[in-house]
Structure formats: C-alpha cells, structure tokens
Amino acid sequence: MALGQFAYANNSNRFLACAPLAEQPYAVCGIPFDGVVTNRPGARFGPQAIRAASLMLCDGIHPVFDVSPLEHLGDALDMRLPNASPLPEVRAHIERQASELMARHHCVFLGGDHSVTLSLLRAAKARHGGEPLALVHFDAHCDTWSDHFGEPSGHGTWTYEAIQEGLVSAAHTVQIGTRSSGERAARDYVADQGGQIFTARDLRGLDGSALRPVVTAIRERLAGRPVYLTLDIDVLDPAFAPGTGTPEPGGLTSSQVLTFLEELATLNWIGMDCVEVAPAYDHAELTSNAAACFVWTYLAGRVARAEA
C-alpha cells in the first residue's frame, strides 16, 4: 500500500478538502469573516480548523446513512473578502460568491461569525423561488436582537433581520438550544412571530426516542418546504465545544445534535452553514471535530436521500 493511502499520512486527504471543486453536486466553502462578534474574535479561522478536523472522515461510510459523501463533494476553498470594509459591503461580497456557488452546487458554508448567514439566506431565497424559506436554527443565542449594542447589525441580529426582510417565514422557523441572557422580547421573538423555540432547558435530559415528539413537531411544521439549516456550534455545551467566541453553559450534547440531524434528514434541506468555530479557544480539536462531524452527517443524509 502506498504511503499516501493512509489518511493520517497525507494531510491533503481530508474529507472536507477532498477534491478541487468541479462538477460535484455538493460543495463546501469557507467564509473567514469575524468582523462583528460581540465577545471573543477568531471564527475567521474556523474553516481551516474544520477542514483539518475532517481528516478521519475522508473515507468514512456514515454509520446511519450507509453512504460516504466523498465522491460527491468538492471544496470551493475560502471566500476572498474585504475584511476591513463596512459590514454591508462584506455581506454583498458573501452573497455574490454564495449565489454563484449555489447555482451549481448544494452548498455547506463554514463560518465565520453568524452574521454571514444573512447573506447566505438572501442568496438561498433567490435561488429557491423567492418565497420566504423555512429555517432550522441551532444556537445558544436567539440572534433576534433588534440592534447590536447600539449598532444596527452584528452576529446577534441576523435572525431578526431575516424575518423582517422576509428571507424566512417566521411560522416556519424553529430555534433549538437557546439559553443565553437577553431581554424577553428578543428571546421570545420567533415564538411571538408564530415560529417555534425549543430552549436548551426544554431539551434537558432528552435524547434518542425521548426527542421523538420534538422531532415530529419540527417535521410537521416544516414538511414540504425548502428548509435552510444554520448551526452555531455554541449550541453545544462548552464541554463539547469550548472553541467558540460566545460560550454559554448548559447546552446540548453532541449526541442530541446528531439525533436531530439524523432524524430530520427527511426534510427538504436546501443548504447549511456551520458557524462560530473559533480554534484559538479550542482544546484537543473538540469543537472543530464536532463541526466536521455535523457537516459530514448533514451531507451523508443528503446523499442517502438522493440515492434512495
């Protein structure tokens, strides 16, 4: 066996950096921007850490979906962005590059801070018929603050902006894992607008079959619609994901998130992002490993559905 056939001997042989992007149906793309974080910066280095952590997924047959997304996946590398420019300009760059990729591939974007999702939703809505999208939002934070500590927009306002702008349908928005401090009007905004919130407290101690009623409620609410998935890694408890800018104790386990991703694989997913991995605060690649595994699970679910 040639040395290069050993995954651990060849750092270029990583699942999420497996092949240059050509005509593959699925693409990953990094968005190395963290210009509007509230607390600790560093998520601009998330994409490279998630790719590195995907090393051992490179030939991985998924244990639930029994497929490997490897041959269907290309790496579009990282977006080139004017990082020091005002946020609207950065967002326009992200939207344009995302639109070009979405026209040719089913995309998973690696953040970056969570502000990038607004641009991705703008591109995704235009791509998928122009009707407000359904949204599944994993996060410790509601991200429905109507301002960012006195500024109009940041990484904690995009959900509010997406609903106000009609990018997503509030009634078809589901938040999972929220638990941070915040005023009630922001914390309950999605529910007040007709959507659904499962806080981390709601989900304490529930996993496997005990999560079934929650999964069923989400499936019924979002059935038949194009659904976008945004996964802030800080939805996990800091024990599972210390490497993030705004950690909040009392979060979900990796196992709970995997249950959701596996059980919701039948939804009509149109794209995903995984954001807020900040490697400088990570330990033993816990956070980037979790992110790589979640992205792999999402893609395996898509490939399995396409082959069914």
Q: Would you tell me which residues interact with Mn ion (CB under 5 A)? A: 139-141, 232, 234
Report CA Rg, the chain.
18
> Smallest gap, in angstroms, from Cβ of residue 276 to Mn ion?
6
106 versus 141: smaller Cβ distance to Mn ion: 141
75 versus 139: smaller Cβ distance to Mn ion: 139
**Strand-by-strand arrangement of the 269-275 sheet:** 73-78, 26-31, 106-111, 269-275, 227-232, 133-138, 168-176, 196-198
Q: Among all chains, which residue has been given the structure tokens 């945004």? A: 230
> Smallest gap, in angstroms, from Cβ of residue 11 to Mn ion?
30
Asked if residue 148 belongs to a known ligand binding site, the reply is no
Asked if residue 141 belongs to a known ligand binding site, the reply is yes
Q: Whose CB is nearest to Mn ion? A: 141
167 versus 277: smaller Cβ distance to Mn ion: 277
- CA–CA distances in Å: residue 131 to residues 7, 86, 242: 43, 28, 37
Asked if residue 232 belongs to a known ligand binding site, the reply is yes
> Smallest gap, in angstroms, from Cβ of residue 232 to Mn ion?
4
How many C-beta atoms lie closer than 10 Å to residue 68's C-beta? 20
**Nearest alpha carbon to residue 18 among 66, 60, 73:** 73
140 versus 229: smaller Cβ distance to Mn ion: 140
Asked if residue 139 belongs to a known ligand binding site, the reply is yes
> Smallest gap, in angstroms, from Cβ of residue 228 to Mn ion?
16
> Smallest gap, in angstroms, from Cβ of residue 234 to Mn ion?
4
Q: 27 has which bridge partners?
A: 74, 107
28 versus 140: smaller Cβ distance to Mn ion: 140
Q: 30 has which bridge partners?
A: 78, 110
Task: In whole angstroms, give the CA distance from residue 230 to residue 36.
Answer: 18
SS3 206: coil
In the annotated binding site for Mn(2+), the residues are: 114, 139, 141, 143, 232, 234
In the annotated binding site, the residues are: 114, 139, 141, 143, 232, 234
